[in-house]
Amino acid sequence: MSEENTMKTELFTTDKGELFKLRVRDWFLNKAGWILEKLHVSARIREFEHVDPITNETIYLSTGTRYSVLHVGDKHFFFDRLTGRFDGTGTSLSDLQCEPFPNS
């Protein structure tokens, strides 16, 4: 392979044909994303969990039949499963502390 047919970077080496395929793929994905955004198509998102190595805070997404719920620490952010619109926030019941009823 000649040096003029190879693009070199610090991370990897790619020939011009491979670089062209990557650029076409990137262009296609950007155009498809633009079209989906204009049509207000809801995004496909998968459940995930991530623990921040610095703060040790857990962030995860759970999905149900009606909502996708983003859990960030003690907060829960609810999104409509079909439209993707934000619907509200909440906390888990196990995190809430209630005062006992006074005896009468």
Q: Where are the domains of the chain?
A: 8-38, 48-92
Give the pLDDT score at 95: 52
Task: Count other C-beta atoms under 10 Å from residue 34's C-beta.
Answer: 10
Give the pLDDT score at 33: 84
Nearest C-alpha neighbor of 91 from the set 79, 73, 65: 73
Give the pLDDT score at 60: 94
DSSP string, 48-81: EEEE-TTT--EEEEEE-SSEEEEEETTEEEEEET
Cα 87 to Cα 53: distance, rounded to the nearest angstrom: 29
Task: Kindly state the helix (H) or strand (E) to which residue 88 belongs, with its residue range.
Answer: strand 86-90
Give the pLDDT score at 78: 92
pLDDT tens across the length of the chain (104 residues): 455 545 555 566 678 888 899 899 999 988 988 888 888 776 677 889 999 999 999 999 988 888 889 999 889 999 888 778 899 998 766 555 555 666 65
Whether the Cβ atoms of residue 81 and residue 68 lie closer than 8 Å to each other? yes
